Amino acid sequence: MILSIQHACDVLIVGSGAAGLSVALSLADHSQVIVLSKSNIKEGSTRYAQGGIAAVFDEENDSVDSHVQDTLIAGAGLCDEDAVRFTASNAADAMKWLIDFGMPFDRLDDKSDGEYHLTREGGHSHRRILHAADATGEAVQVTLVDAVLQHPNIHIFEDYNAIDLIKSQHNPEHALGAYVYNCQTKRVEVIKSRFVILATGGASKVYQYTSNPDVSSGDGIAMAWRAGCSIANMEFNQFHPTCLFHPDAGTFLISEALRGEGAKLVHADGTPFMHQFDERGDLAPRDIVARAIDFEMKRLGQDCMYLDITHQSNDFIIKHFPNIYRKCRSVGIDITRQPIPVVPAAHYSCGGVVTDKHAKTDLDNVYAVGEVAYTGLHGANRMASNSLLECIVFARAAAQHIQSKLNSADYSEVIPAWDESRVTDSDEEVIIQHNWHELRLSMWDYVGIVRTDKRLQRALRRIELLQQEIHDYYSNFRVSNNLLELRNLVTVAQLIVLCAMRRKESRGLHYNLDYPDMLPEAKPTVLNPNDLNS
């Protein structure tokens, strides 16, 4: 048996997006930090976020109470009001912290000390969205990466995929670190740490059509579940209503900020239709807009609908949406003259690993921050531009809580080496690819924007068959990056379906034709591994 390479740190952060890097920067002055990045540190969902970050900066016309109420309404009665208020109350300070690192939010003029330009998005009653043109996520990622690379106490491990948390043999509520897969050497290594932060993002790659990058395979959710943590509200997967529909476009989002600036969703002949579905029209929350587009596509037998912003001037469109303008022009669409073809795509997981306001999970030294976590903020539907905000607010909360416990954390237990003495190299990688495609297609067909009990039952049967195949494969062959992702995706798929089957109503992002009405009492769907295994 080859002994695993071992590393040690105070804090292991699994994930290198806004959540993970914000925790790292908040802790690095007082501790040694390892940040695990599944690919390049600049990759991940953060960089693809276009719209912006919600925070009350215009105190004359806006308020924290208004931000709270908008979020509660968008969440369809399922938000945890304390978590919402905690997030909204800390939003401005979190943004000032980010600005201090050099975040280039747009201003009303070219002066560096001028007022910030605030835009408005679906669900918001006021202009409160700070943004960097239409590429806010990329600006956040660049800002944080630049700061992280300059800090001597932060150590970046690129091309590493976490396999599992390592539980203490003496204290089942304590983790000693994690087994990790080095994608370059194709060997398993061990990272021992006092604290572990799961900041792996969401799980939308479980669906065939998604706006997410390839790394969004639900790793942190699956790892936490296997380690005994509760998860909640996995049935609420947000489908971004407007993904660019073009064979050469890849997975490119058309920001909600266009609708904030007056863009209209229309049929091929230019007829608007959102007013037929909601009194807020094109500024309705994402779940309503996605279902409306899906309904119209199916009703008319069309492959897509269209988003029209041609009422704005050329200069306005090119200045405010330069990336969207360039991307569309690259595939032959001039958005100053033509409507944009759009379709819904799986985008954001509103559920995840259950945490408290310190971002702590059921394990006493494991935290979950960002899309991987269920904080109670989003409820049954995430409101636009609350996601990056959640990352930074809860990253700072987690760091503060960890800082208070650093000196008392136990670090003495010996970690067992990774044992691959009874496995061999696989000679049938095609099985992984086949199962990957079957899983994602089943989820798209049966657990998509509109569901039924029969569809959910069909999905669960297929998932359980795939789980057995994947388990057998995992038990007999050496791990690979694709196998690890598939193992995590099939776990997350099961959790989504089980949560969906427990919700006997339609609420927010979860719409079941067998239960079209909303129950009078809103309750989160919480799953615990011990309950299911008993």
Residues 177-187: tens digit of each pLDDT: 999 999 999 99
Strands of 129-130's sheet in order across: 53-54, 129-130, 118-119
CATH placement of domain 242-346: 3.90.700.10
Nearby residues of 428 by Cβ (< 8 Å), 6 or more positions away: none
Please check the confidence at residue 170 and state whether its pLDDT lies above 50.
yes
Q: How far apart are CA 35 and CA 15, in angstroms?
A: 7
Alpha carbon 105 to its chain centroid, in Å, reads: 22
Q: Where in the chain is the domain with CATH 1.20.58.100?
A: 430-515
Q: Where in the chain is the domain with CATH 3.50.50.60?
A: 6-235+350-408
Helix or strand (DSSP H, E) at 209? none
Residue 273 in tokens: 């239709």
Q: How far apart are CA 357 and CA 369, in angstroms?
A: 10
* 338-349 residue pLDDT tens: 999 999 999 899
Residue type, 485: E
Q: How many CB atoms lie within 10 A of CB 430?
A: 9
Helix or strand (DSSP H, E) at 162? strand 160-167
Please check the confidence at residue 387 and state whether its pLDDT lies above 80.
yes
Q: How far apart are CA 233 and CA 304, in angstroms?
A: 29
Phi, psi torsion values for 346, nearest 5 degrees: -55, 135
DSSP state string for 364-433: TTEEE-STTEE-SSSTTSPPTT-HHHHHHHHHHHHHHHHHTTGGG----PPPPPP--TT-B--S-THHHH
272: region left, alpha or beta (phi > 0 left; psi from -120 to 50 alpha) = beta
Q: What confidence category does residue 324 fall into, taking pLDDT thresholds of 50, 70 and 90?
A: very high
Nearby residues of 53 by Cβ (< 8 Å), 6 or more positions away: 91, 95, 129, 130, 131, 136, 140, 385, 388, 389, 392
Please check the confidence at residue 99 and state whether its pLDDT lies above 70.
yes
Q: Which pTM value belongs to this model?
A: 0.89
* Residue bearing tokens 């690979």: 480
CATH domain 6-235+350-408 topology: FAD/NAD(P)-binding domain (3.50.50)
Bridge-based pairing of strands 118-119 and 305-308 is unpaired
Residue 253 is given by DSSP the state B
Q: Where in the chain is the domain with CATH 3.90.700.10?
A: 242-346
* 234-286 residue pLDDT tens: 999 989 889 999 988 877 889 888 998 999 999 999 999 999 999 999 999 88
Q: What is the pLDDT of residue 371?
A: 96
- Is 470:520 a contact under the CB 8 Å cutoff? no
Which one of the listed residues 47, 85, 120, 286 is annotated catalytic? 286
CATH domain 430-515 topology: Methane Monooxygenase Hydroxylase; Chain G, domain 1 (1.20.58)
* 459-511 residue pLDDT tens: 999 999 999 999 999 988 899 999 999 999 999 999 999 999 999 999 999 99
Q: What confidence category does residue 409 fall into, taking pLDDT thresholds of 50, 70 and 90?
A: low
Nearby residues of 200 by Cβ (< 8 Å), 6 or more positions away: 14, 15, 38, 162, 218, 219, 220, 221, 223, 372
Residue 207 in tokens: 């669906």
Helix or strand (DSSP H, E) at 129? strand 129-130
Please check the confidence at residue 534 and state whether its pLDDT lies above 60.
no
Residue 440 annotated to the active site: no
Q: What confidence category does residue 1 fall into, taking pLDDT thresholds of 50, 70 and 90?
A: very low
Q: What confidence category does residue 293 fall into, taking pLDDT thresholds of 50, 70 and 90?
A: very high
